[in-house]
């Protein structure tokens, strides 16, 4: 079976873990500090604050931006649920702007009319590894004095007009094993703003700047030195991993463009898409349904996945909160998308197996 995701853990990672274990210093320490420095410099930001996962990084970004109960944060309905849940954790209200059908990302055209007196931030998601329209969102943020948060949990190393994501607003990354780089569990918040970085690092560690002096209600969002040591080895190979993902994507797209009823991923101009997911649309012109194709791929030894079958505003939990909006593009995408394996360990023969399984006869 060709898996949908496969972390690449090398001997350098094993050695790094082993060295941390032998040192006896396991919690947030020197390894975390080094990893933060390297990650900030990779993204081109002044600061990076390591966290225990990407969800924490998002919550930290919102808390550091002083998002308070009752505030509104505009975001996308088409993402992993953590993007919007991080807003709920602050007792703030996610407001959903429908997506651009080409990129699956938040469409700036739908954002401005949602900005009201309680709006405090825009939280965009660089979905599948493709940056959203940063310039448009940034100009709305400056015009309306809103915080700008980039959920880059799927977009490590992606670029918008030559600049890496996570460096435009407050960047939030995840190092879950399926992501473009991993630490097992882990996350990172990036920023150029000294005040945000400082507040986030205090909040991450139970609100203490000095040991046992708690200045605010903080959290334990710390990363372990074990995770950071893995992260350092993964960051060193991120560009190589991403290059392989892009190469795999180009190969698949070349074949998929010739298959009637399937739509290969669109890549916007000036964008470096790092293909966390390689997600196609299965339209009604294809001989069988999306779900039937998924079954068929499984039978032919190819795992696939639907990211995401239910848009966030349609999740049972959100419906219970009273969300009843209709967001046609997000809902249509949820019914058509299918992600195929794209990870760096795929062989030439895996890629050909995937293509053959898509050709229906
Ligand atoms: C993975 C992911 C998260 C959450 O990251 P965790 O490390 O799993 O907490 C948030 N947003 C998006 C878009 C993600 O893909």
Q: Which mutation among 60, 94, 151 tests ligand 1's pocket best, with the greatest number of atoms within 8 A of CB? A: 151
Residue 360 has a pLDDT of: 87
Distance from Cα 333 to the centre of ligand 1, integer Å: 19
Pocket test for ligand 1, best of 51, 53, 54 (most atoms within 8 A of CB): 54
Where residue 56 falls (left for φ over 0; alpha for ψ -120 to 50; beta otherwise) is alpha
* 175 CA → ligand 1 middle, Å: 8
Counting ligand 1 atoms within 8 A of each CB, the residue from 75, 81, 132, 153 with the most, and so the one to mutate, is 153
CA 38, 42, 47, 53 torsion: positive or negative?
Answer: negative
DSSP 303-319: --B-S-SS-GGGSHHHH
The two beta strands, 72-75 and 119-125, are parallel
Which helix (H) or strand (E) element contains residue 335? helix 328-336
Return d(Cα 217, Cα 88) in angstroms, integer. Answer: 17
The atom number, within ligand 1, closest to the CA of 58 reads 10
Provide the strand spans (E) within the chain: 47-51, 72-75, 93-96, 119-125, 147-151, 159-160, 163-164, 170-174, 187-191, 208-210, 213-214, 262-263, 271-272, 278-282, 337-340
Catalytic residue among 179, 199, 294, 314: 179
Q: Which CATH class is domain 11-234?
A: alpha beta
β-pair type (187-191, 47-51): antiparallel
Residues near ligand 1 with C-beta < 6 Å?
53-55, 79-80, 82-83, 125, 151, 153-154, 174, 176, 187
pLDDT at 85: 98
Catalytic-residue membership of 179:
yes
Domain ranges of the chain: 11-234, 238-358
State the Cα–Cα distance between residues 221 and 204, nearest whole angstrom.
5
pLDDT along the chain (361 residues), means of 10: 97 98 96 98 98 98 98 98 98 98 98 98 98 98 98 98 98 98 98 98 96 95 98 98 98 98 96 98 98 98 98 98 97 98 98 97 77
Encoding tokens for residue 128?
């599948």
Q: Give the pLDDT confidence score for residue 159 in this predicted structure.
A: 98
Determine how many CB atoms are found less than 10 A away from the CB of residue 194. Answer: 10
Where does 238-358 sit in CATH, by number?
A: 3.90.1150.10
Q: How far apart are CA 54 and CA 186, in angstroms?
A: 6
| 8 A C-beta contact, residue 168 and residue 124 | no
CA of 211 to the centre of ligand 1 (A): 30
**pLDDT score, position 361:** 77
């Amino acid at each position: 079976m060709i898996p949908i995701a496969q972390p690449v853990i090398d001997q350098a990672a094993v050695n790094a873990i082993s060295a941390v274990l032998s040192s006896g210093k396991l919690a947030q320490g020197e390894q975390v500090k080094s990893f933060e420095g390297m990650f900030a410099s990779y993204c081109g930001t002044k600061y990076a604050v390591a966290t225990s996962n990407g969800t924490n990084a998002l919550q930290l970004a919102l808390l550091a931006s002083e998002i308070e109960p009752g505030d509104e944060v505009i975001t996308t309905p088409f993402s992993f649920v953590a993007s919007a849940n991080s807003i709920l954790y602050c007792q703030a209200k996610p407001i959903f702007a429908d997506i651009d059908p080409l990129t699956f990302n938040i469409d700036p055209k739908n954002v401005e009319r949602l900005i009201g007196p309680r709006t405090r931030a825009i939280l965009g998601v660089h979905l599948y590894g493709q940056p959203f329209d940063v310039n448009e969102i940034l100009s709305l943020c400056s015009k309306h004095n809103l915080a700008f948060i980039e959920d880059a949990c799927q977009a490590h190393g992606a670029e918008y007009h030559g600049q890496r994501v996570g460096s435009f607003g407050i960047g939030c990354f995840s190092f879950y094993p399926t992501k473009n780089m991993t630490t097992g569990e882990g996350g990172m918040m990036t920023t150029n703003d000294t005040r945000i970085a400082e507040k986030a690092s205090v909040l991450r560690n139970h609100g203490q700047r000095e040991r046992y002096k708690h200045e605010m209600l903080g959290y334990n969002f710390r990363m372990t030195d074990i995770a950071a040591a893995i992260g350092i080895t993964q960051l060193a190979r991120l560009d190589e991993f991403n290059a392989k993902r892009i190469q795999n994507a180009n190969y698949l797209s070349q074949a998929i463009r010739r298959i009637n009823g399937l739509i290969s991923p669109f890549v916007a101009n000036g964008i470096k898409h790092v293909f966390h997911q390689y997600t196609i649309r299965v339209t009604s012109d294809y001989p069988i349904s999306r779900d039937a194709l998924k079954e068929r791929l499984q039978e032919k030894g190819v795992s696939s996945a639907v990211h995401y079958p239910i848009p966030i505003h349609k999740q049972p939990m959100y419906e219970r909160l009273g969300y009843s909006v209709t967001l046609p593009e997000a809902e249509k995408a949820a019914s058509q998308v299918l992600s195929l394996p794209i990870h760096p360990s795929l062989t030439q023969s895996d890629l050909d197996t995937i293509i053959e399984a898509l050709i229906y006869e």
